[in-house]
Amino acid sequence: MANQKTIAVVGATGAQGGGLVRAILNDPQGGFAVRAITRDVNSDKAKKLAQLGAEVVAANVDDVASLEKAFREAHGVFCVTFFWEHFSPEKELAEATNMAQAAKRAGNQHVIWSTLEDTRKWVPLSDERMPTLKGKYKVPHFDAKGEADKVFTGLGLPVTLLLTSFYWDNFIYFGMGPKKGPDGKLALTLPLDDKKLPGIAAEDIGRCAYGIFKRGHELIGKTVGIAGEHLTGAQMAAALSKALGKEVVYNAVPHAVYRGFGFPGADDLGNMFQFKCDFNEYFCGARNPETARALNPSLESFEDWLAQNKSRIPLGE
């Protein structure tokens, strides 16, 4: 409809952007239309979004001209980067800069930047509690996102900084789910001590982003932190046990041990969990489930998420 506001969504075939695309399409009376951005308009995922009613266009976050074209005449844009595709914070910062510049040139009226903290504000490189990684980062996949905040604000964009949380979907896709130990018991191995981890259903990030766009000007210039729930490792293991009908124990490991696990990014994630533990009060305080629920009344708890997804968690049995 002519008076609908279009939201251009980067990462539309992925977790965060996909949640936003579906949130907009599921609310046909909401006054918004969606433009899904993908590198390949002919992929199965892109075609599925088109079938659901999205306008699907091609752009690449490495190509500012393609982004500008995709952002043109959209009311709002949702910007996200893909650290785990390349493991390069420098590339992530360059891609965020491309999106910010494209939004500036396209003149979009509301930008959401999906961000995380630059942990070096809390743990300077000289702080030896955790190793410095890739030469100048403490948590590479956080730090460049946080550094990019000032690229968006520095260009004077009408931006909302969206602080996201650990996806519970990592238990399905990221190899973080319970695994059988030598004693035959399923163990949830995380370097979380007895601290709480703000977590969220990945789909809810997009639903919250939709809630931010629906608020109009209210959240422009603000940082909004979201989570579904804050849970300890023991609480997540108990919920997993209940949902799976099998005992899952929480196996707390030291951060240094986790850093040494050897899988790609283990050092980055070990530092990330240490940051979340050492600054737990700040980290949880910055991600309020009530804020998320106000933006997205269907916000899922971990138990809700497990009810939908428990059969998809690989248990390595």
Ligand X SMILES: NC(=O)c1ccc[n+]([C@@H]2O[C@H](COP(=O)([O-])OP(=O)(O)OC[C@H]3O[C@@H](n4cnc5c(N)ncnc54)[C@H](OP(=O)(O)O)[C@@H]3O)[C@@H](O)[C@H]2O)c1
Interface residues with ligand X (CB under 6 A) are 11, 13-17, 38-40, 43, 45-46, 60-62, 80-85, 141, 164, 166-167, 170, 174
Q: Which is nearer to ligand X, 6 or 114 (CB)?
A: 114
Q: Which is nearer to ligand X, 122 or 174 (CB)?
A: 174
Q: Which is nearer to ligand X, 48 or 185 (CB)?
A: 48
Structure tokens belonging to residue 266: 């283990």
Q: What is the DSSP string of 257-299?
A: HHHTT-STTHHHHHHHHHHHHHTHHHHHHTS-HHHHHHH-TTP
Nearest approach in angstroms of CB 91 to ligand X is: 9
**Contact, 154 vs 200, CB < 8 A?**
no
Secondary structure (3-state) at 38:
strand
Q: Which is nearer to ligand X, 81 or 119 (CB)?
A: 81
- How many angstroms from the chain centroid is the CA of residue 110? 19
Q: Which is nearer to ligand X, 48 or 105 (CB)?
A: 48
DSSP 187: E
Nearest approach in angstroms of CB 247 to ligand X is: 25
Nearest approach in angstroms of CB 186 to ligand X is: 21
Q: What whole-number distance in Å separates Cα of residue 89 and Cα of residue 108? A: 26
Nearest approach in angstroms of CB 41 to ligand X is: 9
User: Strand locations in 30-149, DSSP E?
Assistant: 32-38, 55-58, 76-79, 110-115
210: Cβ–Cβ under 8 A, 6 or more apart, which residues? 7, 20, 23, 24, 27, 30, 32, 295, 296
Report angle CA 28, 208, 205 to the nearest 5 degrees.
110
Q: Which is nearer to ligand X, 95 or 193 (CB)?
A: 95
Nearest approach in angstroms of CB 17 to ligand X is: 6
Nearest approach in angstroms of CB 253 to ligand X is: 18
**Contact, 80 vs 10, CB < 8 A?**
yes
Q: Which is nearer to ligand X, 95 or 278 (CB)?
A: 95
Strands 186-190 and 229-232: unpaired
Q: What whole-number distance in Å separates Cα of residue 152 and Cα of residue 310? A: 38
- How many residues would you count in the chain? 317
Strands 76-79 and 55-58: unpaired
Q: Which is nearer to ligand X, 4 or 223 (CB)?
A: 223
Nearest approach in angstroms of CB 102 to ligand X is: 12
C-beta nearest to ligand X: residue: 14
Nearest approach in angstroms of CB 173 to ligand X is: 8
Measured N-to-C along each axis, helices 302-309 and 233-244 cross at an angle, to the nearest 10 degrees, of 40
